[in-house]
Amino acid sequence: MSDDTKLVSMANQIGTFFMPQRQPDPAAAIANHLRKFWDPRMRAAIVAHLDKGGAGLDTAVREAVQRLKEADAHR
């Protein structure tokens, strides 16, 4: 299993956790979790994976990673 595959799996598990919680914006909750609990290198790697096409990322997780990328671009 590649590092990208592991990160995608982990990110999708987080998404699976937040989806049934009826958050008004699940992608925001997922992005917030990734920002708080993932090491900056992990966040950079999942953003790089998204930049390569984001294979395997669930829809809400893809949106969350896109938001992380945009937030980092504004820093």
What percent of the chain lies above the pLDDT cut of 70? 99
Q: Is the pLDDT of residue 44 over 70?
A: yes
pTM: 0.91
Number of domains in the chain: 1
Which residue range forms the structural domain that includes residue 62?
A: 3-73
- When the pLDDT of each residue in the chain is averaged and rounded to a whole number, the result is 93
Check: CB of residue 34 under 8 Å from CB of residue 14: yes
Check: CB of residue 65 under 8 Å from CB of residue 12: no
Check: CB of residue 17 under 8 Å from CB of residue 59: no
Bigger pLDDT: 64 or 23? 64
